[in-house]
């Protein structure tokens, strides 16, 4: 065999090995990102379920005292009923953001009633709901970071080729609805 043929064979084998390594590394990194996204979403669902379970207790604890604030209580109850873990992520995100807005309105309303603020069960429930809202925000940030990394990765070369081959699509962000960025309207009515 001539040295030229050996060099060409070596170059082709080297290119195949490097190309194969790039494909495997890219595939594995995208799969890892997809798994992280799924894990991050599962963590969000845990906290959403906890909030879903805690809201009736808070509404029940303040219902009698806040009889004339029925609209706030009904909105929280309506949104709690609207949430379903079976919905697609964008719909869950929308309901979650609306629920967060309604819960903040409820907590703001509770602040205005000294008799409610002095009840230990209301304070405990309020603290638990506030903690869950904070956890949702933290986990949402982590989820969106993983989605950003995934979506960026599958849009770059060489992953874009594999994205086409394996039908990888960008994942949806957990966006807050536009209304969530605005202060909720609060009507100050006396008891």
Domain holding 125: CATH number? Answer: 1.20.1440.20
> In whole angstroms, what is the distance from residue 82 CA to residue 84 CA?
6
Tokens 């100050």 locate to: 188
Q: Is residue 135 part of a domain?
A: yes
Q: Is residue 112 part of a domain?
A: yes
Q: Is residue 150 part of a domain?
A: yes
Q: Is residue 18 part of a domain?
A: no
- Number of domains, the chain: 1
Confidence (pTM): 0.72
* pLDDT value of residue 75: 79
Dihedral angle of Cα 18, 19, 23, 24, to the nearest 10 degrees: -30
Least Cα distance to 46 among 142, 126, 165 occurs for 142
* pLDDT value of residue 190: 41
> In whole angstroms, what is the distance from residue 183 CA to residue 165 CA?
45
Q: Are 166 and 33 in contact (CB under 8 A)?
A: no
* pLDDT value of residue 186: 42
Q: Are 62 and 73 in contact (CB under 8 A)?
A: yes
Mean pLDDT, the chain cut into blocks of 10 residues (191 residues total):
88 93 92 94 89 79 65 78 81 84 80 69 78 89 94 92 92 71 46 43
Q: Is residue 12 part of a domain?
A: no
Q: Are 103 and 139 in contact (CB under 8 A)?
A: no
> In whole angstroms, what is the distance from residue 119 CA to residue 114 CA?
9
Q: Is residue 187 part of a domain?
A: no
* pLDDT value of residue 79: 82
- Phi/psi for 123 (5° steps) reads -65, -40
Q: Is residue 16 part of a domain?
A: no
Query: Half-sphere exposure of residue 87, counting CA atoms within 13 Å on the CB side?
Result: 15
Domain that holds residue 151: 27-181
* pLDDT value of residue 64: 64
Q: What is the DSSP string of 57-117?
A: HHHHHHHTTTGGGHHHHHHHHHHHHH--TTS-HHHHHHHHHHHHHHHHHHHHHHHT-HHHH
**Neighbouring C-beta atoms of residue 9, cutoff 10 Å:** 11
Q: Is residue 57 part of a domain?
A: yes
């Amino acid at each position: 065999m001539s040295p030229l043929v050996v060099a060409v064979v070596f170059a082709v084998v080297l290119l195949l090995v490097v190309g194969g390594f790039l494909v495997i590394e890219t595939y594995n990194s995208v799969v890892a990102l997809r798994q992280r996204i799924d894990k991050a979403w599962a963590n969000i669902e845990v906290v959403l379920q906890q909030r879903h379970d805690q809201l009736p207790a808070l509404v029940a604890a303040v219902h009698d005292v806040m009889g004339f604030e029925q609209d706030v209580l009904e909105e929280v109850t309506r949104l709690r009923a609207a949430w379903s873990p079976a919905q697609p992520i964008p719909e869950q995100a929308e309901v979650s953001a609306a629920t967060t807005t309604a819960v903040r309105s409820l907590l703001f309303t509770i602040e205005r009633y000294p008799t409610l603020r002095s009840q230990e069960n209301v304070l405990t429930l309020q603290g638990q709901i506030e903690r869950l809202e904070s956890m949702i925000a933290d986990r949402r940030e982590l989820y969106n970071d993983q989605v950003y990394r995934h979506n960026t990765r599958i849009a770059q070369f060489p992953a874009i080729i594999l994205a086409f081959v394996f039908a990888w699509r960008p994942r949806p962000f957990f966006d807050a609805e536009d209304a969530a960025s605005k202060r909720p309207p609060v009507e100050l009515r006396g008891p």
